Structure 1
Amino acid sequence: MTAGAVKAVLFDLDGTLIDSAPDLGAAADKMRTDRGLESYPLERYRFMAGAGARGMLGVAFGIAPDAPEFPALREEFFVAYENRMLLNTHVFDGVQALIDAICTRGLAWGVVTNKSARFTDPLTRAIPLFSSAGAIVSGDTTPYSKPHPEPLHEAARRMGVPSSACVYVGDDERDIVAGRAAGMRTIAATYGYMGPQADVTLWNADASIAAPLELLHLLNKA
């Protein structure tokens, strides 16, 4: 993968650029304690943070999305998360330096997340990192969400580059599936919310990184 062949780098959001697990987990845990249940430690929620409400409510209450009470609990979770989503969420170490280096190289960059714009928009407006992003595509920006490739194609269109000239970086298998379907080169970020059961070698990504700045070495490789 040569730098000259790459015109843009796209990233997943949660677990790839930002660590939002503390606020996602705390929102779900408050729902538990509000009901008189014991509090769970953050690490119990952490590996499911990439699954959003489905993951957090699954940990907190052992509930599946097809349960009759799930929609009401999901909206309660959304409100709880909105009330605190910037309290402890932070950019992963090395990400700011990575984005600075990408911009210095003249590459475009953007975000493709399954997170609803209801949350993506205020988060990315509040965190200075995203001021240089050429595209921010949420889970409801197009009629589809990952692993469908359309959100990635939409981001490429917004940046004015062909999808084939993009690299997509994410910490979940659906990110790699979407990137490959979009004709992009794919990088698995193993520092995110990957649980102990995940086997990244089965995802068929083009490469993997254990820290954000490792991506620069991949962009330099012939």
Structure 2
Amino acid sequence: MTFSRVRAVLFDLDGTLIDSAPDLGAAADRMRVARGLPSLPLDDYRPMAGAGARGMLGIAFGMTPEHPEFAHLREEFFRNYESRMTENTRAFDGVEALVQALLQRGLDWGVVTNKSMRFTGPLTAAMPLFATARAVVGGDSTPHSKPHPEPLFEAARRLGLAPEVCVYVGDDERDIIAGRAAGMPTVAATYGYLGGRPDVDSWRADASISSPLALLDLLK
């Protein structure tokens, strides 16, 4: 499949453009160690890195948001993460070349993430990769977060484009649900975290890619 009439590409952040699992996992693991619990390997945290505090505290402590201590531990996790957001976080291999290729083709690009702007703003400001992003929409930039389509509509508004000429790329089922609801062609990034649900075919994305640069083959 190839997409026509595309004028911009929007991306999820964690697990799609950047591998932030090392810093997210370390922030949660620090909490375990501080409580006398054994450290867990990064591979335990990685599949749920896209779920932020909910995912990391779930792995570290088997804790859900309904737990009475969740809000308290979440803020401790946030402080830990803020102190090291870019320590080991890197763009996935091929992402920088992909962005350059999009720009050379005259396509705009942007970010739509459920990560709050408390973290998204400083993180994207600290990484040169995002200097050319035309829109950066966080999880609290609109009244709704994904899988609601409103963050994608907001990104399209900031680009001055109709949603249907924007492609949305993400590594979680909620990304595909949001993209489809916004009327955007959707691409599943199977190299990402996948939210612990690797059955990507069930997401009903329009296409899938196993590496960032593979997206270029869909935009001919």
Determine the structure 2 residue equivalent to 1:24.
24
For residues 128-177 of structure 1, give each alpha carbon's deviation from its aligned partner in whole angstroms, at most 9, with x where no partner exists.
Answer: 01000010000000000000000000000001110010000000000000
Distance in 1 between residues matched to 2:72 and 2:197, nearest whole Å: 30
Matched residue pairs, number?
220
Residue in structure 2 matched with residue 38 of structure 1 by the alignment: 38
Q: Distance in 1 between matches of 2:25 and 2:2?
A: 39
CA spacing shift, 1:195–1:110, aligned 2, 3 Å = closer
Equivalent residue letter for 2:49: A
Q: Which runs of 5+ in 1 are unaligned?
A: none
Unaligned 5+ residue runs, structure 2?
Answer: none
Distance 1:119 1:180 in 2: 26
- Decide whether aligned partners of structure 1 residues 36 and 93 sit closer, same or farther in structure 2, where only a CA change above 3 A counts: same
Matches within 5 A, 1:82-161: 82-161=82-161
Superposition CA RMSD, Å:
1.1
**DSSP-derived class of the 1:93 partner:** coil
Q: Residues 4 and 173 from structure 1, CA distance in 2 versus in 1: closer, same or farther, beyond 3 angstroms?
A: closer
Report % sequence identity.
70
SS of 1:5 mapped into structure 2: coil
Q: Is the 8 A contact 2:108 2:133 kept in 1?
A: yes
- 1:196–1:77 distance in 2 versus 1, CA, 3 Å: closer
| 1:65-84 correspondence to structure 2 within 5 Å | 65-84=65-84
- Tell me the equivalent position of 1:5: 5
TM-score computed with the length of structure 2 as normaliser: 0.98
Cα distance in 2 for residues equivalent to 1:117 and 1:47 = 22
Asked if the contact 2:51/2:195 (under 8 Å) is kept, the reply is no
2: CA distance, partners of 1:64 / 1:194: 19
Asked if 1:63 corresponds to 2:41, the answer is no
Partner residue, 1:178: 178
- Distance across 2 between alignment mates of 1:175 and 1:29: 27
Distance 2:98 2:53 in 1: 29
Alpha-carbon distance in structure 2 between the residues aligned to 1:208 and 1:186: 8
**Whole-angstrom distance in 1 between the partners of 2:74 and 2:121:** 19
Cα distance in 2 for residues equivalent to 1:117 and 1:170: 18
TM-score normalised by the chain length of structure 1: 0.97
